[in-house]
Amino acid sequence: MPGDRKQQHALVNPGTAVGLAGVIVVLAVLSSLPAGEAPGYVDVYPAGGLPILWLLVRGARVVSVDTAVLAVVLFGSNLLAGSDPDVAGTFAVANILQTVLAVLLLRRWCPQMWGCGGAEPLDRPRVLARYGAALVLATAVGSAVAMTGVVAVEAHSTSLAGLLWFGRNLCSALIVVTLGLLLGQRASAPRPRPRLLGDAGVVELVAATAFTVGMYAVAFSFDDLPLAFPLLAATVWFGLRFSTVLSGAHSFLVGVVTMTLTVMDIGPFAAVERLDLGYLLAEFYVATIVITGLGLSTGRDERHALAAELRRTEEDAVYQASIRDAVIGSINEGLLVVDESGELLVHNDAAARMLGAAEGPLTTESRLVLTTWWADGFQMGDEDKPTVRALRGEAVHDAEVVVQVADVGDRVLNVSAIPLPRDVVRGRARALVLFRDVTTELAHREELAAFAGVVAHDLRNPLAAIDGWTEMIADELDAGALDAQLAQEFVSRVRSSSRRMRELIKDLLAHATSSQRDLELSRVDVTQLVEEIAAARHAEGFVSCSPIPLVSADGVLVRQVLDNLIGNALKYVAPGVEPKVTVHGCQTLPNLVTIQIADNGIGIPAGEREKIFEEFHRAHYRDYEGSGLGLSIVRRIITRHDGTIMARANPAGQGSVFEFTLPSYTD
């Protein structure tokens, strides 16, 4: 704490001590002037406040050079005020003890206040209570020490001397220390600072000041009338409407004026029959207005601080809620928060879309709660539902359930449910539910599993043939009976099986890349591609093509489509029949070109014309070799170009017609 105080008061120079010492001496001289019939210890000499303010503002230790200098100044001031040396010494000791105790208590009980170790102003009633208690306790101890010393030195004392000494020093401490600390904190506080006028304006300050002057003029003009009580109205006005600094300044000025006029035998307090009792009443009146004003102003400061904190909290809550809503809204996964009563507390748009409520509010009866089927088709018990398990305190991860979505049908959702902290207000369990639609993913997994099974089957057949023929070659070689003609036949069989495997692997690679390769759209001349494919297959005499409008497509993939369809047309013909393939196209829409490839082949059975586009489906698998992937590759490529493809019987007679669309090319 001492280090903090040194840093806080680094700007306070020794001139502060010199100035305070000068003020103490001047006030001591003034208090020695005649003041009517005032009893001892009731002058305006503020010995209780300035020494405390000295050590606090200076940030000095209680045992330091400042304390020694202060003791000398207090002893000299008491001599100047007319006290005998032994009494002056007694008062100096009492004042030093009072000051040291007050500083220690303030630094311990109010460490956050400016001057006491912190940087905050006096702005809380609780702090004011501790602040006032420290000054009262220190002043009471100082009064007891002073009166004990006076009795020991002079062997006599007035009946109210102790209370008068206590009242004078307490009033001085309350008005001087308070105003000094408030002004010091405001001067050292960084900008922007709170308004000096508080909730009021300049006009109201002028009015309040005029009201104070008028009320005190009236009250102190009629000595015979007890008009002191209306004076509290001015203190209440300043305490409720103006800043604590102005309220403290008001109490300081009112206190000084009240005590000065009373000492000068003016006002209602001077009209009391016993002068010492009148002065005592005046001192406690000053203490009352100081505490009243500070209590009202610190209460107002606390209310303002709480209101500001509430506004900041509300703004922060709104900001946090907006962030939460933005984060939840940006999540592609569905999100729900439900409680055990079935109330839906939070949900996002993705959840509404997946559960078929995109057009209206999502109800509390979530389909995730109502669903009764697992993705594998088994029925789900009530206790096995992911939300029920999470509300029971169990974490559920990646459970696949089936929900029925309006206008869509059954969908498969991957659900994770996590228990949340219990709602202690309503005593309900809560759960967070995250889910995503895996219907397509599940279909792809099933498709992949079927694909892998077919691939394994189709690869195993030629591989088994290769193994068989090579084993026969080995047996013949071991027997020494392998002639050249038989060896040639065996090798031919192995080559045929190897070629089938190579073609299958080639088709598998084309199938895998047909949906992954990025499209490189450009101007494509379909007529030229048909001529090139026919030439490459040495089938110029079997393929004819009329001019086809230009299309906007990926040239490599379009070549793959045409090569597959023309190759099938040349391949699937009856024995002894010469193939005939015709290709033509036309603009069917402003942005669409329709292309037809007609053949005179064996045709496609009516029930197979859609199935032939599925993976590994072959309509004529007994008579013709193939992988069953060519047409599925064709459909994938056409679909990626936002086109369509279909197969039908050739209206010109025997054979089939494959018709597909591609985007037209525009300059």
Q: What is the pLDDT of residues 159-205, one digit of tens each?
A: 577 888 888 889 889 988 998 899 988 888 888 888 888 888 899 99
212-214-219 Cα angle (round to 5): 95
In the prediction, which pLDDT does 453 show? 58
400-439 in b/e form (b: 16+ CB < 10 A) is ebbbebeeeeebbbbbbbebeeeeeeeeebbbbbbbbbbb
Nearest Cα neighbor of 246 from 207, 297, 321, 187 is 297
Please state whether beta strands 592-599 and 396-405 pair in parallel, antiparallel, or not at all (unpaired).
unpaired
Beta strands in 469-600, from DSSP E residues, in sequence order: 521-524, 543-545, 551-554, 581-589, 592-599
Instruction: Identify each DSSP E strand in 127-275 by its residue range.
Output: none
pLDDT for 7 equals: 37
pLDDT of residue 622: 46
Domain end point (choices 385, 405, 437):
437
- The CA angle 427-433-434, to the nearest 5 degrees, is 160
pLDDT of residue 555: 84
> One-letter amino acid identity for 417?
A
Q: Are residues 138 and 239 in the same domain?
A: no
Give the DSSP letter of residue 189.
Answer: S
Provide the token pair at 337: 């928060």
**What local confidence, expressed as pLDDT, does residue 537 receive?**
81
DSSP 37: B
* Structural domain count of the chain: 5
Assign residue 570 the CATH number of its domain: 3.30.565.10
CATH number at residue 402: 3.30.450.20
Please indicate, yes or no, whether residues 199 and 64 belong to a single structural domain of this protein.
Answer: no
How far apart are the C-alpha atoms of 426 and 247, rounded to whole Å? 47
Residues 51 and 3 in one domain: yes
Structural domain containing residue 460: 443-513
**What region does 339 belong to: left with phi over 0, alpha with psi -120 to 50, or beta?**
beta
Do 377 and 397 share a domain, yes or no? yes
Regions of the chain where pLDDT drops below 70: 1-47, 81, 154-159, 223-229, 357-370, 406-408, 446-462, 482, 500, 503-518, 615-629
Q: Is 412 helix (H, G, I), strand (E, B) or coil?
A: strand
How is residue 307 written in tokens? Answer: 């209101």
End of a domain among 310, 330, 350? 330
Q: How many helices (H) and strands (E) does the chain have?
A: 20, 13
Return the CATH number at 152: 1.10.1760
Tell whether 326 and 338 lie within a shared domain: no
The Cα 458–Cα 647 span in angstroms is 25
Evaluate whether 629 touches 616 at the Cβ level (below 8 Å). Answer: yes
DSSP 120-132: B-S--HHHHHHHH
**291 plus 406 within the same structural domain:** no
State both tokens at 480: 């020494």
Instruction: Report which secondary-structure segment, H or E, holds 91.
Output: helix 85-109
* Alpha carbon distance 281, 275 (integer Å): 10
**3-state SS, residue 421:** strand
Same domain flag for 40 and 173:
yes
What is the pTM for the complete model shown?
0.56
Q: Mark 16-28 as b/e (b = at least 16 C-beta within 10 Å).
A: bbeebbeebbebb
Spatial contact of 292 and 236, defined as CB atoms under 8 Å apart: yes
169 and 22 in a single domain? The answer is: yes
Same domain, 431 and 576: no
Nearest to residue 583, comparing CAs of 542, 636, 552? Answer: 542
Residue 370 CA to residue 389 CA, distance in Å, equals 13
32's CB contacts (< 8 A; 6+ apart) are 80, 81, 82
Same domain, 497 and 412: no
Instruction: Indicate if 347 and 433 belong to the same structural domain.
Output: yes
Question: Are 91 and 147 in contact, with CB atoms under 8 Å apart?
Answer: no
Per-residue pLDDT, 621? 45
Last residue of a domain, one of 491, 513, 535: 513
pLDDT in tens, 94-103: 889 999 999 9
3 state SS of 665: coil
Whole-number pLDDT of residue 659: 92
Residue 130, pLDDT score: 94
Residues 158 and 266 in one domain: no
Bridge partners of residue 401, in order along the sequence: 374, 413
